[in-house]
Structure 1
Amino acid sequence: MKKRTKKLLFNWRIILLILFLVGSIATLALKPLTFGIDISGGVALVAQTEHPVDSDTMQLVVDSLQKRLNTLGVRDITIEAQGNQIVLVKVANVSTEEQANQIKAVIENQGVFYMEFNGEIFGTGKDVEYVGIYQIKSDNSWAVPFRISKAAAEKFAKLAEGKPGWPVDMFLDPPVNSLMVVPDNIYRLMNSTEFNAQAPNAPTLLERITKAFNITVVTYANQSAEEIAKLAQGKDKIVLINVPQELQTELENMNLTVRYIPGEPGVSDRQIIIKALGLYGPYSLGEGLASGQPQQDVQITGSAPDRLTAEREASTIYTVLKSGSLPVKLNVVGMEFISPRLGENFKTQALYAGLAALMTVLIIIYYHYRNWKIAIPVASTSLFEVIIILGFAALINWNLDLPSIAGIIAAIGTGVDQQVVITDELLSGERSERITRRASVLKRMGRAFFVIFASAATTIAAMSFLLVYFVGTLKGFAFTTILGVLIGILITRPAYAEIAKYLLGED
């Protein structure tokens, strides 16, 4: 008996299950689960393109909106394309109509892209005629080629002549004609050579944005809302950066347009400035572009410490350049709020439903076999699958919504069916000599796992179709179902087979 127990404990399938189980519990302890809008609450907006577009353009729309909403400081965003004309935007933790209308305005107002040099705007998104596929080299340097209009090229050539190394800035939706109220440390950074690329003698970022966009930057020195409003006369908006937030309310009560950007732990002053201005760059002007000769085909280059970072940086610039010349307009055709209190009820109900399902499985399996040695392992294996699925979801920051939870339940249901197949095969053999019995067990396990893998293959194939072609709410259902099935056939089902053989005396 001890020998059989020791053999079971050191079985690689059991060890694999334990490792994944411990790893999932540790992950859940360190990284809390993130939930979708239908559980955490928020607003869902349905936007429609003014005409049908192809899949590449639709993906560009999604990427562009993601960048723009992130730039505005909107968090927990899910943007999904549905078909060739509908974009579903879900933003968690939005509870007021004012916040939702701000997001709606961002979606409906197409982004404006600017190219600036030495305080002069030499091109906008309309001047970007073509954007090539970005390239990543073996040394992790990258390049994004693009073509600008002849007029922009000629203007840029005059501005850039004899200025190699000077900063070239690109902006997406900068706060044009605005007053920025900032702490002294941010003011000093904007007025330093930090954003001057390889030309310390070039104008500072503060000088460049003042000249190009009529942005006035002042240091916050405990001014009242009335004093700030007086400074903002003739401006379109006020941007408050890491100053007392009550100023925002007071200024908005004066019917002024205000954008508030708080300081965040771990976010540097440089990152706050880049976010507030919608700045990409600065990029150092190459020798070839400082000759004074107009060149329409240009490229932005950079380097990164590793390939993943290089891919991310190049992809960001590619998206910004493409979004500046986005050929389609979006209109919000539907908006729906989801209460976080309702979401909490969903979460509680899902937990109760899961526990009730496990208890039901335990009772049904017991009454079917009249054997606790079978019922408890089946229910326990289902619980282990849930823990591993949730651990994986926490690890990759997958937002669990109601369809995702339904997918977990569907995967667990499939898992119970497969465990019943394994158990029935083990119980179907007849007693015989040890060698014959062992051969019989292997043969029956082979039949059982043939059925299991065939069932899993058909489930994965069906869910893959939903995952690829029917994004949106079905995507979460398909992903968690596939994940649950894979965890089942690769980890928990083989482990259950070993435990069942041990408990039924078949090993």
Structure 2
Amino acid sequence: MKRKLLVWFIIFLVVFVLAVYIDYTAITASSKPLETLNKFESYIVPRFGLDIKGGVRFVLEAVDTPEVKVTSEAMQTAISVIQKRVNALGISEAIVVQEKGANWKRIDVELPGWKDPQKAKELIGQTALLQFKTEDGKVVLTGAHIKNATLEFSKDPATLGQPVIAFQLDSEGAKIFADVTQQNIGKTISIYLDDKLLMAPTVKSAITDGQGIIEGKFTKEEAANYAALLRSGALPVKLNFIQEEVVGPSLGSYTIRMAIIGAIVAFLLVAIYMIIFYGYLGILSALSLIFYVSLELAVLFLLHATLSLPAIGGAILSLGMAVDINVIVFERMKEELKLGKTLKSIINAGFANALRTVIDSNLTVLVGAAILFYFGTTIIKGFAVTTSIGILSGFVSGVFVTRLLVELFLPQSSVKKPWMWGI
């Protein structure tokens, strides 16, 4: 029996060391420039929410128009388009999610670390409907066939060095463009973006390779933004900005400092409480909680969970739930001790009889967290995720790790020493 316990103890130590290594690497990586991180550090570096890192948050709402009605399919397409546009901004931690329930027509966009809300609004909210029109106003091609669009610089001697947009069409678009240019040689084909005329060149010959250049006296930044819009595609529905929130990084640094202090104080208070009320058992519980904290952080880093202030609050809340498991088990063990049973019987009865209550209480919290995750906004989702991970980590810590420590390190003589049980 002891040999089996030692094997489990070695497994516990290996998991604990790995968790501590992940935690240490992730925390140290958060203070390094992104370009200096190795592959593993880049994978686990903490992601911070707006209230910690600072940045911009928008809420957009889709509205019906005479031409287009808002549908669930259109909302999914809009989210995909916005995600591509956000990626074009170079923000790796951006969040784009659709709200649930009565607000299903709303999209939450969070851009941690972004400092220019106006530029973000222009890129995210622009419809970006590209149209090629013949002289009679007929639309012969749209941006739906754009395969790629990039910023380039003109090689034409008349406009040498001017920023232009180079585009490439998909196979269907290339065929359409070839036919249209063949039929309009000597005529103009106007190019519009959201009904704004960009250029109206005269077709000199058929263009069959599906590639072209859009000129419009752009600045370099304008051409790059237009190219990003064309790559991401046009929004299928009209979106209105109904909320905008800017969070400064100074507020973020203050909140993270206070959150860290709060987490440390919470852990110390819980550990002191357990030692006062359960003596030696409380010390073993505190060791189990150290494992719980390291495991929870490691899982959060590996899952790329966004650490906002409510999310950290959820992690601290789950600390109380984790120690609650020990309280239930230890109280049951104290009852068995008063009945004069052997140490083995006390441990078996304590954990076995308390297990159902522990499972019921944890399952109830997990169901509530799942509902919050499904219906909540991004901030509420972060709270639900960290709470759920904390509950699961706490269950492993409170049920398995605490029992392992109790069976290995609680001496037989303790049944005659009530102070070791907090009695």
TM-score under structure 1 length normalisation:
0.58
- Aligned partner of 2:176: which letter? K
Separation in structure 2 between the aligned mates of residue 153 and residue 493 of structure 1, nearest angstrom: 64
Map of 1:158 onto structure 2: 179
Map of 1:101 onto structure 2: 118
Distance 1:33 1:492, change over 3 A: farther
**2:47 aligned residue (27, 34, 38):** 34
- Give the match's secondary structure for 2:400: helix
- Give the match's secondary structure for 1:429: helix
Map of 1:209 onto structure 2: 212
Map of 1:297 onto structure 2: none
Aligned 8 A contact 1:16 1:491 in 2:
no
Establish whether residue 497 from structure 1 lines up as the match of residue 406 from structure 2: no
Map of 1:469 onto structure 2: 375
Distance 1:24 1:159, change over 3 A: farther
Separation in structure 2 between the aligned mates of residue 382 and residue 54 of structure 1, nearest angstrom: 48
Aligned 8 A contact 1:386 1:408 in 2:
no
1:439 CA displacement: 4.6
**2:14 aligned residue (12, 16, 19):** 19
Distance 1:505 1:482, change over 3 A: same
- Aligned partner of 1:455: which letter? S
Establish whether residue 401 from structure 1 lines up as the match of residue 308 from structure 2: yes
1:338 CA displacement: 0.8
Map of 1:305 onto structure 2: none
- Aligned partner of 1:91: which letter? L
**1:238 aligned residue (197, 202, 219):** 219
Deviations for 1:185-224, whole angstroms, at most 9, x for unmatched residues?
Answer: xxxxxxxxxxxxxxxxx85x8xx332xx23xxxxxxxxxx
Aligned 8 A contact 1:107 1:332 in 2:
no
Establish whether residue 352 from structure 1 lines up as the match of residue 250 from structure 2: no
Aligned 8 A contact 1:422 1:497 in 2:
no
Deviations for 1:34-55, whole angstroms, at most 9, x for unmatched residues?
Answer: 2111100111122222249444
Map of 1:90 onto structure 2: 110
Aligned 8 A contact 1:40 1:93 in 2:
yes
Distance 1:54 1:423, change over 3 A: farther
Separation in structure 2 between the aligned mates of residue 473 and residue 439 of structure 1, nearest angstrom: 46
Aligned 8 A contact 2:300 2:389 in 1:
no
**1:79 aligned residue (84, 91, 96):** 96
Map of 2:142 onto structure 1: 124
> Where do residues 194-205 of structure 1 align in structure 2 (5 Å cutoff)?
none
Bigger proportion of residues as helix: 2
Deviations for 1:226-249, whole angstroms, at most 9, x for unmatched residues?
Answer: xxxxxxxx61x2226xxxxxxxxx
- Give the match's secondary structure for 1:111: coil
Segments of structure 2 that go 5 or more residues without pairing to the other structure are 26-40, 133-138, 147-169, 183-192, 200-207, 415-423
Separation in structure 2 between the aligned mates of residue 475 and residue 125 of structure 1, nearest angstrom: 35
Please identify, of 413-422 and 103-112, the stretch whose mean Cα deviation from structure 2 is larger: 103-112
1:26 CA displacement: 2.3
Aligned 8 A contact 1:39 1:342 in 2:
yes
Separation in structure 2 between the aligned mates of residue 394 and residue 238 of structure 1, nearest angstrom: 40
Map of 1:341 onto structure 2: 250
1:485 CA displacement: 1.2
1:496 CA displacement: 0.7
Separation in structure 1 between the aligned mates of residue 124 and residue 245 of structure 2, nearest angstrom: 15
Deviations for 1:258-291, whole angstroms, at most 9, x for unmatched residues?
Answer: 759xxxxxxxxxxxxxx956676xxxxxxxxxxx
Separation in structure 1 between the aligned mates of residue 10 and residue 128 of structure 2, nearest angstrom: 53
Distance 1:127 1:8, change over 3 A: closer
> Where do residues 243-392 of structure 1 align in structure 2 (5 Å cutoff)?
257=222, 259=224, 324=234, 326=236, 328-369=237-278, 371=279, 373-392=280-299
**CA RMSD after TM alignment:** 3.8
Deviations for 1:92-139, whole angstroms, at most 9, x for unmatched residues?
Answer: 1123xxx21111112321133679xxxxx96215789xxxxxxxxxxx
Aligned 8 A contact 2:311 2:382 in 1:
yes
- Give the match's secondary structure for 1:80: strand
**1:411 aligned residue (318, 321, 332):** 318
Aligned 8 A contact 1:126 1:324 in 2:
yes
Deviations for 1:424-465, whole angstroms, at most 9, x for unmatched residues?
Answer: 22222148998x763553233211111111111111111111
**2:75 aligned residue (58, 61, 70):** 58
Aligned positions, number: 340
1:376 CA displacement: 2.5
**Which has the bigger relative contact order, CA under 8 A and spacing at least 6?**
1
